[in-house]
Amino acid sequence: MKRLCEAPKSGGGDSGVTPEGPTPPAIQTVEDQVESVRELVYTSHVAVTPLTQEQIDLRLTKNFEKTYPVDFYDRRSQAWGTIGVIPAGTSIRDALLAFQTGQVVGFYNPANGKLVYIGDTELSLTERYILAHELTHAIDDQNFGLGRIDPIAARCDDEAFAAALGAVEGSAQFFATQVIVRFPQEATADGGGDSGSLDGVPAFIVDLQLWPYTAGLAFIQRLQEEGGTERVNEALRTFPVSTEQIIHPERWPNDVPQPVDVPDLGPELGAGWSDLDVMTVGELWIELMLDLRLSGDQAAAAAAGWDGGLYRAWSDGSHTAIVLRTRWDSDDEAREFATAMTAWANGSPDGAVSVSAPTGNSVDVLFGSDASVMPPLNRASASS
C-alpha cells in the first residue's frame, strides 16, 4: 500500500486573497450562533469570504490535479471497472471533478484557517446554512485539530478516512441545522448556488461522496442523544476508524476491524503481472457495491456483519485480476455475505467473478477483466 499510494497534497482548493477588514454583522451573527449551539468558542479569527458558484468551481478546478493524482486514479479506475462498481472505462477522477463542480458550495481549509461559501453579506436561508456548516468546521478545527485527517488520506487508508470524514461532516451538518432551528429568522430571497449536473457520474461514486453528510449526520445525532456535545467532542478528538462505526454508532469506539492482508499473486499469475492497486474495503463500500444489483435492505443486511476487508489488484497491461478478502463477525454472517455476493455476481458479464466458499469467518471474491483471467486467478488464490 505504501508503494502504490500517491498521497493527495493538502491545502488544495483555497488559493486566492481573502479580504481584510471587520467581519460583516450578518456573518458575525452566524458565528455567535455556531458558538452557542456548538458550546465551544473560536480561539482565533476566521477569515470568511463570500464567493459565487463560478468562483468556487474555479478554485476547485485549479487545485484538482494536485489533490487527485492522475496515475493513482487511472489505476484505481481500472480496478473499480473490473470489479463492476463503475462502468468499464470510466475515470473516477473525471467523475469526482464533475461531482464537485456545482455541488461544492463552500469549504473551510484547516491549513490556513480560511473559509469560503456561496453567498454575500445579506444571507438567505440556504446561505446561512452553508455558512453555519463551514463555521462549524472552523470551530471544530480550532478546538480539536481537524488537520489530523490529512495523514489518514496521505497513507491512502480509504476506510479510516471515510470514517473520520463522516464524523467531521456529520458534526457540521448537525450543528448547522441547529443554528437554523434554534435561531429562526425571516429569510431573504434564496440565492444559493446552482447545482451542477450529475449526468454521467456513476451512482456508486455519487453515493460515496454523499455518505459522510447523511450517515455522518445520523451518527452525530445518536452521539448527541446519548451524551450531548461532549460525546460528539469525543468523536472529533478520537476519530472513528471504520465506516462500520459510523453506520452502527454503538460499535464506536470499541469494535475495531480485523487486519486483512492479500499476498502478492503476480508471480503466480504469470509473466508480466504486477501490482495495480490495493485498497481497504469497509462496510460502506461493500454495501454500496451490493446495492448496485440487490435490494437496499438485502445489501445492508449482508454488509452489516463486516469485520475487515481489503482488495489487491494486478495487471499484465492487457488484463486485470483482483482478490477482495473479507472478514466477518461470525461464520453465519460470512455465509450471508457469500450468498448475497453470489447473487450479485450472477449479473457480471463473462462469468468473471468467483465467490469462494466461506472459510470460517472469511470470504474471498475474485474478479477478472474477462473470463480468461479466472482459471489462473483461482489457482493462485487457492494456493495463498
DSSP one-letter string for 78-98: HHHHHHTSS-TT--HHHHHHH
Identify the pLDDT of residue 14.
Answer: 46
Give residue limits of the domains in the chain: 25-193+200-251, 266-382
- 3-state SS class at 20: coil
Identify the pLDDT of residue 15.
Answer: 45
The residues facing 184 across adjacent strands are none
Q: Using 50, 70 and 90 to split pLDDT, how confident is the model at 64?
A: confident
- Give me the mean pLDDT over the 269-273 stretch: 96
- Residue 190: is its pLDDT beyond 80? no
- Residue 194: is its pLDDT beyond 80? no
- Residue 321: is its pLDDT beyond 80? yes
Distance in angstroms (rounded) separating the CA atoms of residues 230 and 63: 35
Q: Using 50, 70 and 90 to split pLDDT, how confident is the model at 257?
A: very high
- Residue 5: is its pLDDT beyond 80? yes
- Residue 303: is its pLDDT beyond 50? yes
- Give me the mean pLDDT over the 144-173 stretch: 97
Q: Using 50, 70 and 90 to split pLDDT, how confident is the model at 188?
A: low
- 3-state SS class at 321: strand
* Cβ contact 319:369 at 8 Å: yes
Kind plus residue range of the DSSP H or E element containing 279: strand 274-280
Q: Using 50, 70 and 90 to split pLDDT, how confident is the model at 23?
A: confident
- Give me the mean pLDDT over the 83-100 stretch: 95
| pLDDT > 90: percent of the chain | 77
- Give me the mean pLDDT over the 75-101 stretch: 96
pTM comes to 0.93
- Give me the mean pLDDT over the 106-122 stretch: 86
Identify the pLDDT of residue 80.
Answer: 98
Q: Using 50, 70 and 90 to split pLDDT, how confident is the model at 11?
A: very low
The amino acid occupying position 255 is D
The residue among 355 and 13 whose pLDDT is bigger is: 355
Residue 17: half-sphere exposure toward Cβ, Cα within 13 Å: 3
Q: Using 50, 70 and 90 to split pLDDT, how confident is the model at 189?
A: low
Distance in angstroms (rounded) separating the CA atoms of residues 167 and 227: 15
Cis peptide leading into residue 253 (ω within 30°): yes
Identify the pLDDT of residue 195.
Answer: 58
Identify the pLDDT of residue 65.
Answer: 78
Q: Using 50, 70 and 90 to split pLDDT, how confident is the model at 13?
A: very low
CATH number of 266-382: 3.40.1000.70
Helix residue ranges, H only, the chain: 25-38, 53-67, 70-83, 92-100, 125-144, 149-154, 158-182, 203-237, 243-247, 266-269, 283-291, 296-303, 331-345, 374-382
- Give me the mean pLDDT over the 321-326 stretch: 98
Identify the pLDDT of residue 119.
Answer: 82
Nearest CA-CA partner of 222 in 180, 256, 244, 250: 250
Q: What is the mean pLDDT of the chain?
A: 92
- Residue 193: is its pLDDT beyond 80? no
Span of 111-120, 262-271, 375-384 with lowest mean pLDDT: 111-120
